[in-house]
Amino acid sequence: MSEALLKNIALLIDADNASHHGIDPVLTVLAELGQVNIRRAYGNWAKPALSNWNRITHRYGISPHQQFDLTKGKNATDMAMTIDAMDLLFAGKVDGFGIMSSDSDFTPLVTRLRQDGLIVYGFGSDKAPEAFRTACTRYIEVDQLIRTTSADEAKPVSSAAVDQSLIDLLGDAWKAANRDEEGFARLQEVGQIAGNRSSFDVRNFGFKRLSELFRTIDNFELKRREDGQLYVKRMR
């Protein structure tokens, strides 16, 4: 078994602010990081709005954590998630986190976790505040993730959905990568650099692989070399 599969990942779910429909693809994505051994969902389980979450907790091995609404307008769920995340951090037994929420209140928490070198994936809606999205190692839109991972519904977006800011991000990553005499850089390295510079993830654009995204952008050329790896070059 590889070292990556031995890593211990914690998934913390803001059930008040996350859709239960995304749990399958979210767990699939987090499997890239390691084993999701800690799965907790927080909320007031007496609320009818959480009934869908309540029905699937046992199926997915999620531990429900009850948070009563003690004061109107104050979110006890956010506080409980933050406290538990810090406890897990200081226990030193977690290698990465998944935060399932679209709430900007978790931005300081994510920033703090990353300062200790932990990978933090955020999962939420496309309406999530930019501060929270960019604080995460990766921020993945759950609705798009569901469409991308569904065998019946997954359809790559057209290149019209790729704006200039994304082209610039990929172009800058290509410039920063090691390039050969023909100007080609390893696709994997370009993707890693782009990911380090932002919360970029190809699944937000409806693709499963970075190569699929690059093939829709006329600005770049892809080439597979004799070593079996894909290389990319910016043409314009």
pLDDT at 77: 83
Q: Does 155 have pLDDT greater than 60? A: no
- From the list 76, 82, 84, the residue with the least C-alpha distance to 111 is 82
pTM equals 0.75
- Mean residue pLDDT across the chain: 85
- Distance CA(104)–CA(198), nearest Å, equals 17
pLDDT at 156: 46
By residue count, the chain amounts to 236
- Distance CA(109)–CA(115), nearest Å, equals 10
CATH 3.20.20.140 matches 4-149: no
Where helices occur in 57-158 by DSSP H, the ranges are 76-91, 107-115, 130-135, 142-149
Q: In the chain, where do the E strands start and end?
A: 8-14, 35-43, 63-66, 96-100, 119-124, 138-141, 185-186, 220-224, 230-234
pLDDT band, residue 153 (cuts 50/70/90): very low
Q: Does 83 have pLDDT greater than 70? A: yes
Task: List the chain domain ranges.
Answer: 4-149, 159-234
Superfamily of domain 159-234: LOTUS domain-like (3.30.420.610)
Percentage of residues in the chain having pLDDT higher than 70: 89
Q: Are 194 and 187 in contact (CB under 8 A)?
A: no
- From the list 106, 120, 171, 146, the residue with the least C-alpha distance to 24 is 146
Same fold, 4-149 and 159-234: no
Task: Read off the pLDDT of each residue in 7-35 and give the average, rounded to a whole number.
Answer: 91
Q: Is 51 helix (H, G, I), strand (E, B) or coil?
A: helix
Q: Is 204 helix (H, G, I), strand (E, B) or coil?
A: helix
Q: Does 6 have pLDDT greater than 90? A: no
Task: Read off the pLDDT of each residue in 65-88 and give the average, rounded to a whole number.
Answer: 80
Sign of the CA dihedral with 106 first, then 108, 114, and 118 last: negative
Task: Read off the pLDDT of each residue in 137-157 and give the average, rounded to a whole number.
Answer: 72
pLDDT at 151: 43
Which of 49-58, 144-153, 176-185 is predicted with the least confidence, judged by mean pLDDT? 144-153
pLDDT tens, 189-233? Answer: 888 888 777 677 888 887 888 898 888 888 899 989 888 889 999
- From the list 229, 145, 158, the residue with the least C-alpha distance to 189 is 229
pLDDT band, residue 161 (cuts 50/70/90): low
